[in-house]
Amino acid sequence: MMTQQFPEDFLWGAASAAYQIEGAATTDGKGPSIWDTFVQQPGKTKNGTTGELAVDHYHRFHEDVALMAQAGLKAYRFSIAWSRILPDGEGVVNQAGIQFYSDLIDDLLQHGIQPVVTLYHWDLPQALQDRYNGWESRALIPLFERYCHILFEAFGDRVTYWVTFNEQNVFTSLGYRWASHPPNVSNVKRMYAANHVINLANATAINLFHKLVPNGSIGPSFGYGYVAPESAHPLDILAAHDANQLNNDWWLDVYCRGQYPQKILTLLQQLNLAFDITDADQALLKSAKPDFIGINYYHGGTVKRPAVNQQPTADKSFTKIDPYLMAADTQDDSLESHLFQSVSNPYLEKTEWGWEIDPIGFQIALRTVYERYQLPIFVTENGLGAFDTLTADRQINDDYRINYLNDHLLQLQAAIAAGVPVIGYCAWSFTDLLSWLNGYSKRYGFVYIDRDDHDAKQLTRIPKKSFYWYQNVIQNNGESL
């Protein structure tokens, strides 16, 4: 392993999202989001879990920030709930919502922790879904712009790093294709149309930010997974190339170059899945450039050539869900089935949820993204979901998490040595929190939260072994890895 110092100002951090930690779903004037509503439907989440209370960060953020300071964090990434700021998504501003985030930001800064603010981590105000059909309507673009305007004005003097959309690739495919997230739609054509509107909203927000907060930095956070070929057969290599284009370049090219990859556009047309792109859209996409690329890395994928060389026909059925790879079963007639088939990688171990563990893939991801776009990278999420055990003497010995994070950070270090400018690393997550569909037992945190799906107990915070490990890593700026 090449050794290379982490930069002196490297932002060692951790991340969260409003719906997954805050609770206080109806407190102080907050309006409902599509997640508040979605989880009320029976069978949507494990044991019917919701974020109504979550880990009650809304009322305990001082305690949580004190723990972050104890860990020595240099950065903390969190998201703002749009419906806390604007309960209806538009109209009257809820000052109590502004105050909450203002207090959180001040508390972080007082402890020397950089706030990293995500503008949108999936919790669209329900009112906007009801009135406009959510992201399927271009009406959302100026509404998102106004919401951003309010936040840039309120916090732009105190917050340097901003994330526009969290994992647009994941929330559009799970929300509009697989119907496992709100708005619970299963229609590929609508997914691509909504995705285009979100791209326009992203570009609009970036342009506004550059006007209002010229000294700040903004970028999207993308759920990136490098796709490898199953073999050296040229058809498998081609399949991997196409899969990377469909799963990664499809978004990153738009963010960074303002244009969609042509091959995929053509295929969408052939399959009658195309969406409208006006000249004004093209000009807008070209005009906005992020200052960094946020990368959320959990795993990549492996593919082989498509089963048969099918002629494109209209898209029909989808049966398999993988949020990081828009993977397709071999039998269906989806877009992917014309390009590749996903296979499992025999060289990699998997988490208890079947996610491949691939630290070297992390280095490849960082290098590929930088080599393609030449923008600094901020790792805005990476972590291990696991069942943790609280021992009788109230310890959590999560050596598996330490190993996972250590291995990934060594690969991040190798990417830095290979010339990739990495601004920081936010582990997912700081405290345990609600895993969207998996309840409270899929844990990611450095801090254990004593609650389960059925009983919120006292929500006591208990630092895990990994907390002290990370504290040490931060203290010596990565030398102990």
Residue 29 or 439: the one with the smaller Cβ distance to ligand BGP is 439
> Among all residues, whose Cβ is closest to ligand BGP?
435
Minimum CB distance to ligand BGP, residue 183 (Å): 17
- Which residue do the tokens 């969609």 mark? 260
The site for ligand BGP (CB under 6 A) is made up of 17, 20, 166-167, 170, 223, 296, 381, 385, 428, 435-436, 438, 442
Residue 8 falls in the annotated catalytic set: no
Minimum CB distance to ligand BGP, residue 123 (Å): 11
Residue 94 or 296: the one with the smaller Cβ distance to ligand BGP is 296
Minimum CB distance to ligand BGP, residue 171 (Å): 8
Give Cβ neighbours of residue 115 (< 8 Å, ≥ 6 apart): 75, 76, 78, 104, 105, 108, 109, 155, 158, 159, 161
Residue 23 or 223: the one with the smaller Cβ distance to ligand BGP is 223
Q: Are 23 and 437 in contact (CB under 8 A)?
A: no
Report the run of H or E that residue 301 belongs to, with start and end.
strand 301-304
Angle 57-71/465-475 helices, nearest 10 degrees?
50
Residue 83 or 341: the one with the smaller Cβ distance to ligand BGP is 83
Minimum CB distance to ligand BGP, residue 384 (Å): 10
Q: Give the gyration radius of the chain's Cα atoms.
A: 21
Please give the sequence-ordered ranges of beta strands (E in DSSP) within 193-289, or none if there are none: 217-224, 227-229
Distance CA 299, CA 325 (A): 9
What sign has the CA pseudo-torsion 54, 59, 64, 65? positive
Residue 381 falls in the annotated catalytic set: yes
Minimum CB distance to ligand BGP, residue 166 (Å): 5
Q: Which of 167, 230, 336, 356 is catalytic?
A: 167
Q: Which of 90, 230, 356, 381 is catalytic?
A: 381
Task: From 179, 192, 305, 201, select the one nearest 250 (Cα to Cα).
Answer: 192
Residue 160 or 438: the one with the smaller Cβ distance to ligand BGP is 438
HSE, CB side, 13 Å, CA atoms: give it for residue 460: 9
Give Cβ neighbours of residue 399 (< 8 Å, ≥ 6 apart): 465
* Secondary structure class of 30 (helix, strand, coil): coil
Question: Is residue 93 packed enough to be buried (19+ CB in 10 Å), middle (13-18) or exposed (0-12)?
Answer: middle
Minimum CB distance to ligand BGP, residue 173 (Å): 11
Residue 191 or 414: the one with the smaller Cβ distance to ligand BGP is 191
Catalytic residues: 167, 381
